């Protein structure tokens, strides 16, 4: 699945500069001031009427905005006014429309999680970064891992496991020593958290069309929660994860410091 949307060509630049903009900001004074300044300088329309959404804050705000605009075909251009800004561009007040005209646009396909709780109720949620399973008590989790209907691990004893998209590979997945994936890679990272048995298993790289099914073994004694980004389901008995083939978000990066460059920088960070 191709994640790169063609950047505007020079002949289209004037059209981009005429696009209608909407602004969204986090609740910090710094971000709210930036929104007021930019809206006054470049004009603002309601989100429903906008061609491009400009997000001012940190990565959390970018994820919230991507969720809100999922499937609308509206690209999100973020500028960092928060503490973490991996998904954001550098904040500058001047030349915004020129930056938008040159920006690269990347398509984001979220994971679809279906989690069944201990009452048999199914819960569905989307994850732009990752789906993670975590033990709820001092007892390690016991998990059975299947990929495309075939059992790959009969028993994984661990603190948890992560299914990460390329977008999320530099987040929780990286903290758990998982691989960093180029944003154009048609892959998912399957990364264990503190695996005890099999002790040498370090995870797997899967094609993005793979279906991952995780069964919780002994869920009463060893309860497990499942999270799709920030939405958590407690006491699950099984979890299914697929990449969405229908829903899409779009994120814009400055052409001189795009997502590929950011990921390469992370790969060589020491």
Per-residue confidence (pLDDT) for residue 44, from 0 to 100: 96
User: Domain-by-domain residue ranges, the chain?
Assistant: 4-109+248-267, 111-243
Q: Which segments of the chain have a pLDDT < 50?
A: 1-2, 4-11, 13-14
Examine domains 4-109+248-267 and 111-243 and report if their fold is the same: no
What does the DSSP assignment read for 26-58? -SSHHHHHHHHHHHHHH----GGG-SEEEEEE-
Q: Tell me if residue 256 is catalytic.
A: no
Catalytic option among 49, 59, 117, 254? 59
Per-residue confidence (pLDDT) for residue 255, from 0 to 100: 85
For residues 111 and 242, is the Cβ–Cβ distance under 8 A?
A: yes
Per-residue confidence (pLDDT) for residue 11, from 0 to 100: 44
Strand partners, 54: 23, 77
Per-residue confidence (pLDDT) for residue 6, from 0 to 100: 43
Q: Which of 6, 4, 3, 125 is nearest to 67 (CA)?
A: 125
Per-residue confidence (pLDDT) for residue 144, from 0 to 100: 98
Per-residue confidence (pLDDT) for residue 270, from 0 to 100: 66
Question: Is 6 annotated in some ligand binding site?
Answer: no
The angle at the Cα of 29, spanning 24 to 34, to the nearest 5 degrees, equals: 50
CATH code of the domain occupying 111-243: 2.60.200.30
Question: Is 266 annotated in some ligand binding site?
Answer: no
Per-residue confidence (pLDDT) for residue 167, from 0 to 100: 87
CATH class of 4-109+248-267: alpha beta
Per-residue confidence (pLDDT) for residue 87, from 0 to 100: 86
Per-residue confidence (pLDDT) for residue 159, from 0 to 100: 98
């Amino acid at each position: 699945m191709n994640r790169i949307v063609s950047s505007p060509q020079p002949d289209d630049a004037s059209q981009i500069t005429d696009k209608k903009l909407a602004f969204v900001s986090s609740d910090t004074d710094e971000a709210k001031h930036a929104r007021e300044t930019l809206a006054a300088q470049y004009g603002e329309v309601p989100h429903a009427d906008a061609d491009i959404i400009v997000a001012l804050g940190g990565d959390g705000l970018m994820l919230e905005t991507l969720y809100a605009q999922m499937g609308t075909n509206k690209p999100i251009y973020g500028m960092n006014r928060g503490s973490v800004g991996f998904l954001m561009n550098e904040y500058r007040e001047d030349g915004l429309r020129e930056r938008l005209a040159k920006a690269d646009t990347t398509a984001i396909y979220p994971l679809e999680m279906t989690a069944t709780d201990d009452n048999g109720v199914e819960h569905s949620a989307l994850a732009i970064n990752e789906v993670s399973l975590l033990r709820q008590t001092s007892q390690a989790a016991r998990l059975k891992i299947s990929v495309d209907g075939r059992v790959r691990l009969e028993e994984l004893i661990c603190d948890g496991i992560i299914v990460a998209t390329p977008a999320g590979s530099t987040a929780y997945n990286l903290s758990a020593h998982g691989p960093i994936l180029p944003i154009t890679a048609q892959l998912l990272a399957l990364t264990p958290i503190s695996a005890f048995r099999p002790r040498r298993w370090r995870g797997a790289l899967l094609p993005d069309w793979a279906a991952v099914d995780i069964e919780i073994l002994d869920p009463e004694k060893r309860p497990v929660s499942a999270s799709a980004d920030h939405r958590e389901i407690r006491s699950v008995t099984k979890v299914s994860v697929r990449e969405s083939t229908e829903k899409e978000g779009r994120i814009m990066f400055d052409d001189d410091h795009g997502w590929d460059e950011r990921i390469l920088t992370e790969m060589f960070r020491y």
